[in-house]
């Protein structure tokens, strides 16, 4: 039997990888994937707690998160393509339209 803390540590590690990837990678696609990683790390802890507490609520929320992540991916990729058509770059440091 794997104890709950292992799942939580795994989730924290995956989440941290996501955060660091998001902050450091310069490729827009990679940044995007880092966000997916963070979402999935949360899914891990939801499922782990669901099993530990013998409650289905966590698993239901996981389905919601997966659905939202799918929609987010679809829209996010569409935005990236639209942006690329106007400005032929996907380097994060060159995208600064909101600069004050």
Binding site for another protein (CB under 8 A): 19, 22-24, 28, 31, 92-93, 95-100
Residue whose CB is less far from another protein, 26 or 51? 26
Closest CA to 49 of 58, 39, 38: 58
Shortest distance in whole angstroms from residue 47 CB to another protein: 22
Q: Which contacts (CB < 8 Å, 24+ apart) does range 80-89 have? A: 80/28, 80/29, 80/32
* Min CB(27)–another protein separation in Å: 11
In the complex, what is the shortest distance from the CB of residue 2 to another protein, in angstroms, rounded to a whole number?
26
């Amino acid at each position: 039997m794997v104890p709950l803390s292992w799942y939580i540590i795994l989730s924290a590690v995956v989440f941290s990888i996501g955060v660091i990837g998001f902050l450091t990678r310069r490729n827009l696609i990679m940044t995007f994937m880092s966000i997916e990683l963070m979402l999935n790390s949360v899914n891990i802890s939801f499922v782990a707690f669901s099993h530990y507490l013998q409650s289905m609520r966590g698993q239901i929320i996981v389905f919601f998160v997966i659905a939202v992540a799918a929609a987010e991916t679809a829209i996010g990729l569409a935005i990236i393509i639209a942006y690329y058509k106007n400005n032929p770059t996907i380097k994060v440091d060159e995208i600064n339209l909101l600069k004050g």
